[in-house]
Amino acid sequence: MFNRKYFGLIMGIWMILVLSLTMAIVVQVLTVGNVSFMPSVIMVAETFSINFIASLVIPANRLGDIFAKKIQAKENTFWFLAISNFIVCAIYVTIVSFAMTVINVGISPELIPSWLSIYPIVFTIGYFISLAVTPVAARVTEHLVA
């Protein structure tokens, strides 16, 4: 269906979409206590856009793989996936959560405290979601580029 050279792009889109949905839900629960449809749609669109643009500029997947190799994790193992995803999440969750906090709080004295209050939770949930979704996204992408 798609050319194999687009594997990374397609895989990245799956991951960005899942993480965008996750962040939209988690941030709403943390900040207002419930999840509403239209704010969710808007937040998913915002987080997806920010994440996609960041992924075009920052080669986080490659950096994650390089780091995992540097500490001698074997490719295609859970340990390699865990280390690589940690680096990827550290980059993207930091960028997206900070940008979303700026959008919602603005540049004000509350910016850093607001961001720091949600960052550990969003990072932790995003990291474990990415660990769970990566193998599924890889299989789906394999079928699309076969």
CA distances from residue 49 to 14, 42, 44, 76 in whole angstroms, order as listed: 13, 11, 8, 29
Which tokens go with 110?
């509350």
Answer positive or negative: Cα dihedral of 57, 13, 26, 66. Answer: negative
CA 138 to chain centre: 15
Farthest CA pair distance, the chain = 51
Give the tens place of pLDDT for each residue, 85-126.
999 999 999 999 999 999 989 999 999 999 999 999 999 999
Give the tens place of pLDDT for each residue, 26-83.
888 988 889 999 999 999 999 999 999 998 999 998 999 999 999 999 998 999 999 9
- pTM for this prediction: 0.85
Mean pLDDT calculated for residue range 21-25? 90
To the nearest 10°, report the CA torsion of 18, 101, 105, 48: -40
